[in-house]
Chains A and B, each alone.
Chain A
Amino acid sequence: MTEAELSLEKLLFNLSTLAELGEEITSPKDFTRVVKSALYMVMGSFSSSKGAIFQFDGDRGSFEPIASKGLGDIGGVRLKIGANATGELVKYKEPLDLSSNAYPVTLLGTAREELRKLDARMLSCLTVKDELLGFIAINGKFSGEPFTQYDHQLLSVMSQHISFSLHSHSLLMKLMHKYTENKNLYDNLRRIYYDTIHAFAAAIDAKDSYTRGHSHRVSAYSAVLAREMGWNNDEVEGIRIAGLLHDIGKIAVDKTIINKASPLTSYECRELNSHPVIGYEILSKIKFPWKGIPMMTRNHHEKVDGSGYPDRLKKGDIPIGARIMALVDAFDAMTTDRPYRPRLSFKEAMDEVKDNWNKQFDPDVVYPFISVIKKEVRREVDNPTIVPLLQEQLDSVTLNRFFEGFPRA
């Protein structure tokens, strides 16, 4: 091959390498692999046997190796360069010949010694705008030939390509960092929010030693029933919160009335029955991320025949969430001890539900409730919620007998 032919071949080879480098740095491959490939392309172009790419690590304030070849383990090598020197170096678009003792190589300070230990001969800055992102360092050519002006230009262009890759990756990492930071903040806020709601629920239940855990059970039962009725995750979460807070109005009711074992006077009855409205007034001032919580609280003592309180609404006018809560609230009240009577058995409670079918309780809610209980008894669900809290053993045969007399859907 003549000199002219060799030059042309070399030009074509380098153009081809640049095209491949462009393709590599825009590929969706893993960043480590991209950087490694880019380094190998640079080294292959200059027949270098040793090379490394360094990237600035803001936390450590130094340039750390992110890819290397022919240098063994250089994980511990760090290039420390002062801020002023960095500001000057970024101006030099041409690669630096490290065999020189002249400016700007002198800007490298102690890093120059580290680079010499790595046998580095050429150093190219990786910059985007005025930011020094890193360096490429390579040793002399395998052939022993000197680096020409043409080589300097080629290394400079390859460095620009690699700079964009580093810059994009760095932006992505910053974005990921911000995302994680925001997510953690959001998770913390969410935890505080839930903790606060749980604290309210505990405060409500604390007023009545008999109803300890009542709000949590109503919450859990409502959620599982809503899910059975096909509600989506967001809606289920809403009724779960409503269940925790449905009795919040009791905070304003005298404790002696709540805990009274003997029949209530009409005044005491009015006081106790005021709790859904008080609860509504408290909760309607809060902007919940879920819909309907204040109204579910207000209407959880309504009955489908219109004989409930406070608004004496009939079936279709009662929010469906309130109809769910009306059933599970009564069911939990029946299956737990009260100051005025011991708890009812499951069968007795379901007999009450049957007796009040389509009067107090909505059949559209009762049937899915029965369905959930059947599934839990048959162990068709992974995490049973209602049956484990009933304090009695249920089996399929007995259960079917319980439900035999129920009106058909």
Chain B
Amino acid sequence: MVKRYNNFKEVGDTVVLYPDNYINDIEGEKLEELCTSYLERGFKKVVIDFSETDLINSIGVSVLIGMIEKVRDRKGNILFSGLKQVNYDVFSIVGLTKHIMIFETEEDAIGGNEKAAGAVTTA
């Protein structure tokens, strides 16, 4: 069963989070809080789909690392999808791309299609 809300979607034990256009101030912590609430409800897999995200700065990176740590502390799995080139470059700079599986689409991430990993959206 799929439940789609404004900024998140539940698919089985997976939740897909859709950040805003910008993750560039401490308001981005709301995304972290949303992620925590899903982990507390027993969701094991978190997909963050960045299709609508145009800009991630250092504050955004810090927020995302906080989310990754929280998911890993609970032995969950966190995957990224829909990354634009500019954001992929930011993740490369800070070394995240070596540690997070990145998929072209959220469907690939939900399906865990590892062959599709490492891609950047062409959209």
Mutual binders A and B:
yes
The answer to whether A142 touches B92 (Cβ under 8 A) is no
Known contacts A20-B57, A33-B26, A43 near B92 by CB under 8 Å: no
Chain B residues near A9: list those with CB within 8 A: 89, 92-93
Contact of A37 among B26, B90, B99 (CB under 8 A): B26
Chain B residues near A70: list those with CB within 8 A: 66, 69
Binary B-proximity of A24-58 (CB < 8 A = 1, otherwise 0): 00000000010011001111111111000000000
Chain B residues near A37: list those with CB within 8 A: 25-26, 59
CB of A10 within 8 Å of the partner chain: yes
CB distance from B62 to the nearest CB of A (A): 4
Contact of A10 among B59, B63, B93 (CB under 8 A): B93
Of residues 51 to 77 in B, which have CB atoms within 8 Å of A's CB atoms? 57-63, 65-66, 68-69
Chain A residues near B62: list those with CB within 8 A: 40-41, 43-44, 48, 69
Not counting A33-B26, A45-B94, a sample of 16 additional A-B residue pairs whose C-beta atoms are within 8 angstroms of each other reads: A9-B92, A9-B93, A13-B58, A20-B24, A40-B26, A40-B62, A41-B58, A43-B61, A43-B62, A44-B61, A47-B65, A48-B62, A70-B66, A70-B69, A142-B99, A143-B94
CB distance from B118 to the nearest CB of A (A): 13
Known contacts A43-B65, A49-B69, A141 near B95 by CB under 8 Å: yes
CB distance from A119 to the nearest CB of B (A): 11
Of residues 21 to 72 in B, which have CB atoms within 8 Å of A's CB atoms? 24-26, 57-63, 65-66, 68-69
CB distance from A87 to the nearest CB of B (A): 33
Q: Which of B59, B89, B95, B99 has the most CB of A within 10 A?
A: B59
Chain A residues near B98: list those with CB within 8 A: 143
CB of A6 within 8 Å of the partner chain: yes
CB of B117 within 8 Å of the partner chain: no
In the complex, A131 Cα to B62 Cα: how many Å?
29
CB of B119 within 8 Å of the partner chain: no
11 contacts between A and B (CB under 8 A): A6-B93, A9-B92, A17-B58, A40-B58, A41-B59, A44-B58, A44-B61, A44-B65, A45-B61, A48-B65, A142-B96
The answer to whether A44 touches B93 (Cβ under 8 A) is no
In the complex, A16 Cα to B86 Cα: how many Å?
14
The answer to whether A13 touches B96 (Cβ under 8 A) is no
CB of A286 within 8 Å of the partner chain: no
Residues on A close to B: CB < 8 A? Answer: 1, 6, 9-10, 13, 16-17, 20, 33, 36-37, 40-49, 69-70, 141-143, 145
- The interface size bin for chain B is 20 to 34
In the complex, A46 Cα to B93 Cα: how many Å?
10
The answer to whether A47 touches B95 (Cβ under 8 A) is yes
The answer to whether B95 touches A143 (Cβ under 8 A) is yes
Closest residue on chain B to residue A7 by CB atoms: B93
Chain A residues near B66: list those with CB within 8 A: 49, 69-70
In the complex, A41 Cα to B56 Cα: how many Å?
11
Closest residue on chain B to residue A17 by CB atoms: B58
In the complex, A6 Cα to B94 Cα: how many Å?
10
CB distance from B84 to the nearest CB of A (A): 14
Chain A residues near B89: list those with CB within 8 A: 1, 9
In the complex, A69 Cα to B94 Cα: how many Å?
18
Contact of B94 among A36, A40, A41, A44 (CB under 8 A): A44
Closest residue on chain B to residue A10 by CB atoms: B93
CB distance from A301 to the nearest CB of B (A): 71
CB distance from A337 to the nearest CB of B (A): 72
Closest residue on chain B to residue A43 by CB atoms: B62
In the complex, A37 Cα to B25 Cα: how many Å?
7
The answer to whether A1 touches B92 (Cβ under 8 A) is yes
The answer to whether B93 touches A13 (Cβ under 8 A) is yes
